Chain A
Amino acid sequence: SQTIHQWPATLVQPVGSPLSLECTVEGTSNPNLYWYRQAAGRGLQLLFYSIGIDQISSEVPQNLSASRPQDRQFILSSKKLLLSDSGFYLCAGTTGVGNSPLHFGNGTRLTVT
């Protein structure tokens, strides 16, 4: 079955610094991949999703970007972090089959100071 590897687990970064969160997939090829952000006690906000290499769709315009340089690699980046970027970031993947559920990584807790 599909496994999502996501790192780091925790990150503290100063305002204005760059960001790179990496997510890799094991156990399936050509997955759909997703980045979600979750504020404390809140729901999951879809940030980006990708159906293939270099195919990225953005849901929320902001200072974050995503890239998919390889089939099983999905990267979330920022050139300059804002305080409002703090949150819990989850990478998820699924196959192209409709009832296939999302498989999630363990998440990254990002604190921007």
Chain B
Amino acid sequence: AQTVTQSQPEMSVQEAETVTLSCTYDTSESDYYLFWYKQPPSRQMILVIRQEAYKQQNATENRFSVNFQKAAKSFSLKISDSQLGDAAMYFCAYRSGASYDKVIFGPGTSLSVIP
């Protein structure tokens, strides 16, 4: 069974600085999809960025980018120019490319932004 691990329960970053959140996963599949979601205090889940495993190029969305290392099964999220609104829980998620059914999440990282 697939698992997703986020080894940093809490992180903090100074406003305008850069922070990297870690995510590793365990799978025997070669085809899959990875996502980062943000959950602010409102608890609404918001998609931040996604990556297809078959793509070598790392995904980017404005200030958010990923470092996808398929061999190492690592999928870290980099937030540049951190803003106060980035403070939230961040979840890494895995979706199988074989069955497209289960989507499993890591335990999350709580990010604080220091003004």
Of B44, B100, B107, the contact of A106 (CB 8 Å cutoff): B44
Cα–Cα, bound, A98→B33 (Å): 7
B: interface residue count bin: 20 to 34
Residues of B within 8 A of A61 (CB): none
Cα distance A107–B33 in the bound complex, in angstroms? 24
Interface residue tally on A, bucketed by range: 20 to 34
A99-B52, A101-B50 known; A88+B103 contact, CB < 8 A:
no
Decide yes or no whether A74 CB sits under 8 A from chain B: no
Known: A44-B91, A98-B95, A101-B47. Contact between A32 and B100, CB under 8 A? yes
Chain A residues with CB under 8 A of B37: 102
Chain B residue with minimal CB distance to A107? B43
Closest to A4 in B: B45
Closest B residue to A106 using CB positions: B44
- How distant is the Cα of A46 from the Cα of B50 in the complex, in angstroms? 20
